[in-house]
Structure 1
Amino acid sequence: MNGKPEHIGFIGVGLMGHGIAQNILAAGYPVSVIAHTDRSPVEDLVTRGATEAMTLKELASKSSIIHICAPGSPEVEAIIEAILPTLQPGTIIVDCSTSDPKSTIMLAAKLKECDCHMADTPLGGTPVQAEAGELSTMVGAPEHVFNRIKPVIASWASTIVHIGASGTGHKMKLLNNFLSLGYAALYSEALALSEKVGISTQKFDSVIRGSRMDCGFYQTFMGYAIEGNREAHKFTITNALKDTRYLAAMADDVNLSNPVGNAVKNSFALAHAAGGNGPEDYVPHLTDFIQKLNAVKKI
């Protein structure tokens, strides 16, 4: 913007956001952050050179690129509504959340009216990868916007794919999560059936691991089923249900029959209704809900 270095605002320095903001700081960008509920990530980032903003408007007024890591579209919409009056012309909003593409496209149009821009950059990876600067992202943004934010994104992502216009990054993220959450639903039912017919989870794993059915997501998922590591994949059942609902809405928008997607959504809806709605209930814990539903006694 006018030859000045970018000033990065960061809203949502939680599980993933802390690592992203940390890497932006390490790359030499000035960064402003704001606290939400847990102050510890903000305090850590301030010791690394970040500036704490006391209000969203204060953060927006000094930032040329603003990252948002929020639970979903309602929160992103509320944040943008709050900062819109104080955005500098040319400011880019970088939405790292997994959001509803319809909402993203609507926000892009609203920001364009104010001579600002929207880029959707949903994340692929884990909090550990976020801290290491090794996330992946699929970007939805006009070409000139993508070119401007790419050096900043490169500080926290090792894989960057420009998908297309605003909203396409979130569309691709929903497709990506459909695959991973679909795997989770399949693995959970397969393990329940395996135990029910007399084959232990350990025996099941000894056949699948290393075979053509093995993959990185399987290994992470089985970190809980085999090793009992409750934090093997820190993505909540609540967020999984939200994402599968967004996927169903996206399919409805184009009149696509989506029976498998709806079946996956219903698996997470059952778990969520049965109590899988706390911050400690992650996607691999779906195995517990499916086995309890089917009165499985583990071998």
Structure 2
Amino acid sequence: MEKIGFVGVGLMGHGMASNLLAAGHPLTVIAHRNRGPVEDLVGKGASEAGSLEELAQASDIVHICAPGSPQVEAIVEVLLAHMAKGGVVVDCSTSNPVSTEMLAGKTEAAGLHWADAPLGGTPAQAETGELSAMVGANAETFARVEPVIATWAKAIVRIGDPGAGHKMKLLNNFLSLGYGAIYAEALAMAEKSGVGTEMFDRVIRGSRMDCGFYQTFMGYAVEGNREAHKFTLTNALKDMRYLTAMADGAGVANPVQGAVKNSLAMAVNTGGDGREDYVPHLVDFVAKANGITR
């Protein structure tokens, strides 16, 4: 069994790491701010590394779940200096594809291999091993990491070479976050026009406009469950900034995506920048901007 290192056992990483352990992979983890997930995994049989260098030396394949490209770049610099030749770096973060392609080149030059494998799904699906993975890797590396990824993902698609997975992930997030921006604006109009949130939901739920993202978004907007979809507004805005750079690099006009980014920026810049300010809470910030009290 491949020896796995895992950097970033947070909301998504804890469940992924648990499934790697359950499949029999020797697992090494490292703590950051929150020791709870690390202690849980150690209790299940994982080893805790005292440093990133130690984790690199103990691992054949290292998974990274980090907030964004600056953090991934810093982690990879250490891994390249300390992993044994032939190892694989798997970046499960939502990263900037420009950075990803640069890191993939540096990784191969160091005698290691690269796969970007960003995630689709929720923390609950991470715990049950039912995430999706959009993988960017060469064919040989993909063949090696696919059975490892299959311990935590139900749907695995190789999009193309390194960087392709992160490009697809940003497009995926554009759709979901676009829905969120539209839902928040539609609900503000529903409230101010007298239709109301509950009536709006009564009509849309179960219709052709319904979907899984709609249901988790409305889990907060209608039912008040603050943890219905635990993806922060700050990370959402970061992803849309990365997509803006991707569009600029491809020479694509992206006015709709610009509007989605600005909706998120408005929320983050008016108080939605906390660690527990999640995407469905966008409905509150759009409502407040329109003089609506929720």
Q: TM-score, normalised by structure 1?
A: 0.97
Aligned positions of 1:12-23 closer than 5 A: 12-23=8-19
1:34 corresponds to which residue? Answer: 30
Contact 2:187 2:283 in 1 (8 A): yes
Q: Is 1:102 aligned with 2:101?
A: no
Is the partner of 1:105 in helix, strand or coil?
helix
Kindly indicate whether the alpha-carbon contact (under 8 Å) linking 2:80 and 2:112 is maintained by their aligned counterparts in 1: no
1:202 to 198, 201, 205: 198
Q: Distance in 1 between matches of 2:271 and 2:235?
A: 14
RMSD over aligned CA atoms reads 0.7
Contact 1:120 1:141 in 2 (8 A): yes
Cα deviation, residue 82, structure 1: 2.0
Q: In structure 2, how many angstroms separate the alpha carbons of the residues matched to 1:79 and 1:12?
A: 11
- Counterpart in the other structure of 1:256: 252
**Cα deviation digits, residues 69-127 of structure 1 (max 9, x gap):** 00010000010112221111011001010000010000000011111111000001111
Give the residue type in structure 1 aligned to 2:227.
E
1:159 aligns with 2:131: no
Given candidates 29, 48, 52, the residue that maps to 1:56 is: 52
Q: Secondary structure at the match of 2:157?
A: strand
Separation in structure 2 between the aligned mates of residue 280 and residue 45 of structure 1, nearest angstrom: 23
| Secondary structure at the counterpart of residue 66 of structure 1 | strand
Task: Give distance in 1, aligned partners of 2:136 and 2:52.
Answer: 24
Paired residues in the alignment total: 294
Q: Which runs of 5+ in 1 are unaligned?
A: none
1:9 to 5, 15, 18: 5
Cα deviations by residue, 1:208-243 (Å, 9 ceiling, x for unpaired):
111111111101100001100000000000000000
- What is the letter of the counterpart of residue 16 of structure 2? I
Q: 1:297, CA displacement in angstroms? A: 4.2
Deviation at 1:148, TM superposition (A): 0.2
- Residue 174 of structure 1 is matched in structure 2 by 170
SS across alignment from 2:63: strand
* Counterpart in the other structure of 1:247: 243
Does residue 141 in structure 1 map to residue 137 in structure 2?
A: yes
Structure 2, unaligned stretches of length 5 or more? none
2:285 equivalent among 279, 284, 289:
289
Alignment match, 2:221: 225
Query: How many angstroms does 1:296 deviate by?
Result: 1.7
For 1:54, give the aligned amino acid: G
For the residues of structure 2 that align with 1:179 and 1:222, how far apart are their CA atoms? 17
TM-score by length of 2: 0.99
| Structure 2 counterpart of 1:165, one-letter code | D
1:40 deviation in Å? 1.1
| Deviation by residue 1:219-268 (Cα, 9 ceiling, x = unmatched) | 11000011000000000000000000001110000110000000000000
- Of 260, 265, 273, which residue of structure 1 is paired with 2:261? 265
Q: What is the CA–CA distance in structure 1 between the aligned matches of 2:96 and 2:154, rounded to whole Å?
A: 25
What letter is aligned with 2:33? T
Shift of 1:280: 1.3
Cα pair 1:196 1:297 within 8 Å, conserved: no
Q: AA paired with 1:196?
A: K
The answer (yes or no) to whether the contact 1:66–1:93 under 8 Å persists in 2 is yes
Q: Does 1:25 align with 2:18?
A: no
Query: Sequence identity, in percent?
Result: 66
One-letter identity of the residue aligned with 2:152 = W
Correspondence for 1:90: 86
Aligned to 2:287, what secondary structure does the other structure show?
A: helix
- Whether contact under 8 Å (1:195, 1:297) holds in the other structure is no
SS in 2 for 1:207: helix
